[in-house]
Structure 1
Amino acid sequence: MKIKKEIDLHSVKSHAEDSMEDKLELSDFTSLKSLINTKFPHKGFCVSYLDNEVLIGKYDGNGLKFYQNKLPEPQFIQKLRLFNETQELLLWRKKWKDTCGEFSFRLRVDGDGIETDVIDAKQVLWGTTAKKLEDGFTEISEIRGTKIILPFNDIEVDDKDKRVFILTRNYISYDTNDSSYQQAGYVDCRFVKFTDENGNILGGELDG
């Protein structure tokens, strides 16, 4: 299998909001949904990294939809990304004690803010065989046993070039100590969209 590595350096206007020193506590899915509805009232995809699995679903601007109605309970969330082409809400667990946990978030929005250099790159997902499931979901898998369930079915994969990708956007900052020295580095990274090997959007267009 040969996957062509592609990166795209360009600039966008962008700004970010984070929880800073504010204490953010979540106890159950209801409290998680309230935070999401407040910070991200738009359609998007959700990738939730739990302690024992990864859930990938869709968000309609009000509610999350995962395969077989599974839900990411806060006590098991390590990290959660809710994203579309213009923005992403990143949530991560700092600690959990008894019945509630302390979390932090970052909301990154493109299209408004400071002109920022970015690098877009495609991240390949494991999966060379696709099986359509109910409710518009698809399972992609490999012989080695890796399985991912995606919330759309416009998927064609094989063990050659046809694969599913996540387009990531990496934000660059330039640190300057004096007029003769400048160092570039990544200060943020977000998910943008699912694509095929040719960059075509998978899962449909989502508003921002």
Structure 2
Amino acid sequence: MDGKITPPANGLKLINLKSRVIPIYPDSPKRNGIKPNELLPLITKNFVSNAYVIAYLYSYVMVGKWENNSLLFHDPQQFDESKILKLRVFNREQELLVWKSGNELKARLRKDDPKARIVCCSC
């Protein structure tokens, strides 16, 4: 071996992103999950700019946007916070991931480090 890193057979380069993960815990020390009615305030607190949304519900998947402190879907009446299995709200700087665990929702926020050098994938 000559010490060089050989690229994978598919020709892609590894992307090395520097980010930090922040677990989301409610104010109450008696539980470690969030309630469905705490979801919109949580998104509002962490996303001041527009973002994309993917909601995995029991029977279907919804794709939409977060704009002006509102979730916007093609058919907003179908979105039921109590039916969430997984929800992703993301933009170029961060991602909020919410998932169902037992009878409650858990969440974490991942923020990219703006000072980190991001290597693009290239073929």
Does residue 40 of structure 1 match 2:33? no
Distance 2:112 2:11 in 1: 21
Letter of the structure 1 residue corresponding to residue 33 of structure 2? L
Task: Tell me, yes or no, if the aligned pair for 2:94 and 2:109 is still in contact at 8 Å.
Answer: yes
Q: Which of 108, 111, 114 is matched with 2:113 structurally?
A: 111
SS in 1 for 2:102: strand
Q: More strand per residue: 1 or 2?
A: 1
Match in the other structure for 1:19: 24
Partner residue of 1:77?
84
**1:92 CA displacement:** 0.4
1:105: Cα distance to partner?
0.7
Once the two structures are superposed, the pairs formed by residues 81-160 of structure 1 within 5 Å of their partners are: 81-96=88-103, 102-112=104-114
Which one has more relative contact order, counting CA pairs under 8 Å at least 6 apart? 2
- 8 Å contact kept, 1:48–1:81: yes
Distance 1:79 1:49 in 2: 5
CA drift at 1:15: 0.9
For normalisation by structure 1, the TM-score amounts to 0.44
Query: 1:36-93: CA deviations, max 9, x gaps?
Result: 1112332111000000000000111511100022353222100000111221100001
Contact between 1:26 and 1:74, CA under 8 Å: does it hold in 2? no
Structure 1 residues 14 and 55 mapped into 2: Cα distance closer, same or farther (>3 Å)? Answer: same
Look up the match of 2:7: none
- Three-state SS of the structure 1 residue aligned to 2:89 is strand
1:73/1:95 CA distance change after superposition, 3 Å: farther
Q: Is the 8 A contact 2:36 2:105 kept in 1?
A: no
Taking only aligned residues, the RMSD between alpha carbons, in angstroms, comes to: 3.1
Higher helix residue share? 2
Find the residue that maps to 1:81 and give its secondary structure.
strand
**AA of the residue aligned to 2:21:** A
TM-score when normalising by structure 2: 0.70
Aligned length: 109
Q: Does 1:10 align with 2:15?
A: yes
> Measured at CA, do residues 60 and 109 of structure 1 come closer, stay the same or move farther in structure 2, by a change above 3 Å?
same
Using the alignment, how far apart are the partners of 1:6 and 1:82 within structure 2? Answer: 30
Identity %: 30
